[in-house]
Chains A and B, each alone.
Chain A
Amino acid sequence: MVTAFMEKTTENQAVQSSSQSHKESILKVNNLEIFYGEKRAVNGISMDIEKKSITALIGPSGCGKSTFLRSINRMNDLIPGARAEGEIIYEDLNILSEQINVVALRKEIGMVFQKPNPFPKSIYENITHALKFAGIKKKSKLDEIVEESLKKAALWEEVKDRLHKSALSLSGGQQQRLCIARTIAMKPTVMLLDEPSSALDPISNAKVEDLIVDLKQEYSIIIVTHNMQQASRISDKTAFFLSGDIIEYDYTEKIFTNPAVKKTEEYISGRFG
């Protein structure tokens, strides 16, 4: 496996050039392959994800970026026939290993989805739902975490007077910030965002983007996005995916101003995809 990884990196100069990072890495991906039945969706990718920074995954539809994202907290386990090979190392453990406690893993590596998906419960219960399951029963403690996470998600001022109203009464942008708040409440270390603002209007989108940049102080964020401007505005590093390969992975500034690979330039300038 190690030799395969070496071959891959020497083959691809762009990937190699990204290895000089300032920050410590939180996730190390080694030669990750993901299959849906017989079909290979991700072809042996390797990358290091930096701690407390925003990593954007860009690329045309079907390039494997969402598949990769969903493998980091094992959400692909839900898809019959999906399997992953290779390694994603988090705190010296391979996330993909059979021995991993998936429930515990998902508490550490939270996820926010493309479509806001609050539970059909009250705003308060949306946040306490998972906390109660995790064993926090004391009302005062729950109240405290609800307030804290709503504040971090920049939603507290808007909802503090109607915490016990249905979450479905919120606007789409508020619902998405609530989904981020309930993920924050679990105190994760990594947050996976799957096109979190693509279903929102421009104003809500801007609010969610500001929020994501704030969250970088405490969390390592990986975001899949189809919006080039969004990737260039908020991310520290960007990986360009194409047909299941990482074509280029580097600092966002470099990717958007002086990409090493011609394909990358073509994609970000909108010539395909």
Chain B
Amino acid sequence: MNSKTADRIATGVFIAIAIIIISILVGLFSYILVNGLKHISLDFLTTPSSNVRAGGGIRDQLFNSFYILFITMLIALPLGIGGGIYMAEYAKPGKITDIVRSCIEVLASLPSIVIGMFGLLMFVNLTGWGYTILGGALALTVFNLPVIVRVSEDAIRAVPSDLKEASLALGITKWHTIKTVLLPSAFPTILTGAILAAGRVFGEAAALLFTAGLSTPRLDYANWNPFSSQSPLNIFRPAETLAVHIWSVNTQGLIPDVEDVSNGSAAVLVLSVLVFNLLARWIGSMIHKKVTASK
């Protein structure tokens, strides 16, 4: 076999792989959307779910998913980016840094159900909070932190070192250089990583089963006092998310329209992730343009 044929075969193989990936994606998407879209209505999105009767919605689950995502990112992003800055700029090469890096990698490969059980021990039992949004968000932080640390570290390292030298040579301190030169340049990559992490958080069920729980109290959306037990903003209440809801109606649902609810929920979940990604990318490129003065 000459090299020309080998080259042609390689091209063919990679095109075939691309086609397989795209058809899986398109197939999955269309299956979920075809089955689910017809159940999505304003009514479905704005009524609370029902335990026994048909016709329940997903209002609270949808809100919970976004709220837990928000709280998780509020905790995970500063910690993760801070960790990335430390690993990229401050950690001295050596044994301790190697150990920290291995720990991060092990943490990244933990199964989410294991993190869920750890969360049950730590954030539910040890703290005595019971099932809470905060507990769920902390479990998801454990789940996401390694990814964000890794992405931030790589993004900061990828900034050309001559930019860093330029800033330091002008008599600017290391921290100010990190803040005003390295982070803005690394921002688009960090954002992409954060979006991927957010997608994982949004669709995660196993880590939340035993931390945020399978139920939601009766919520009053007019109540904005975060300490009231009926307020949606209260972080010390149990909260069933959309992904958990899909799992729970399918395994223990008593409602007659189980299939409609879970198909509709799945479609909402997928669409939310999609919209969320597009929006974040758009915002990211806007900020990047503003920071770098580029067109």
Contacts and interface: CB of A to CB of B under 8 A. Distances in A.
A165 interface: yes
Contact of A115 (B93, B162, B168, B184): B162
Interface string B258-295: 00000000000000000000000000000000011111
B293 A165 contact: yes
Interface in B137-191: 160, 162-173, 176, 180-181, 184-185
Interface stretch (A102-110, A207-215, A244-252): A102-110
A31 B162 CA distance: 29
Contacts of A118: 166
B293 A129 contact: no
A120 B187 CA distance: 12
A107 B172 CA distance: 8
Contacts of A73: 169
Given A113-B162, A117-B162, A119-B167, A130 B293 contact: no
Nearest to A127: B170
A273 to B, nearest CB: 25
Interface in A92-138: 103-107, 110-111, 113, 115, 117-122, 125, 129-130, 133-134
A121 B291 contact: yes
A105 B172 CA distance: 10
A259 B169 CA distance: 34
B168 A119 contact: no
Interface residues of B, number: 25
A78 B177 CA distance: 13
Contact of B169 (A80, A111, A120, A166): A111
Contacts of A130: 167, 170-172
A121 B184 CA distance: 10
A117 B292 contact: no
A120 B171 CA distance: 18
B170 A121 contact: no
Contacts of B166: 113, 117-119, 179
Interface in A52-111: 73, 75, 78, 80, 103-107, 110-111
Contacts of A119: 163, 166-167, 181
A182 B180 CA distance: 16
Contacts of A121: 291-293
Given A119-B163, A119-B181, A125 B168 contact: no
Contact of B294 (A75, A107, A117, A168): A168
Contacts of A104: 171
Nearest to B171: A107
A75 B165 contact: yes
A167 B291 CA distance: 12
A105 B162 CA distance: 19
Contacts of B167: 119, 129-130
Contact of B292 (A75, A120, A134, A183): A120
Interface in A126-180: 129-130, 133-134, 164-168, 179
Contacts of A106: 168-171
A179 B93 CA distance: 32
A119 B177 CA distance: 11
Contacts of B291: 121
A107 B185 CA distance: 24
A182 B167 CA distance: 10
A117 B170 contact: no
Interface of B: 92-93, 160, 162-173, 176, 180-181, 184-185, 291-295
29 contacts: A75-B165, A75-B168, A80-B92, A80-B93, A103-B171, A103-B173, A105-B171, A107-B170, A107-B171, A110-B170, A110-B171, A113-B165, A117-B163, A117-B166, A118-B166, A119-B166, A120-B163, A120-B184, A121-B293, A129-B167, A129-B180, A129-B181, A130-B167, A134-B171, A164-B293, A166-B295, A167-B293, A186-B170, A186-B171
Given A107-B171, A118-B166, 9 more contacts: A78-B165, A105-B171, A113-B162, A113-B166, A117-B166, A120-B293, A129-B180, A134-B171, A164-B293
Interface of A: 73, 75, 78, 80, 103-107, 110-111, 113, 115, 117-122, 125, 129-130, 133-134, 164-168, 179, 182-183, 186
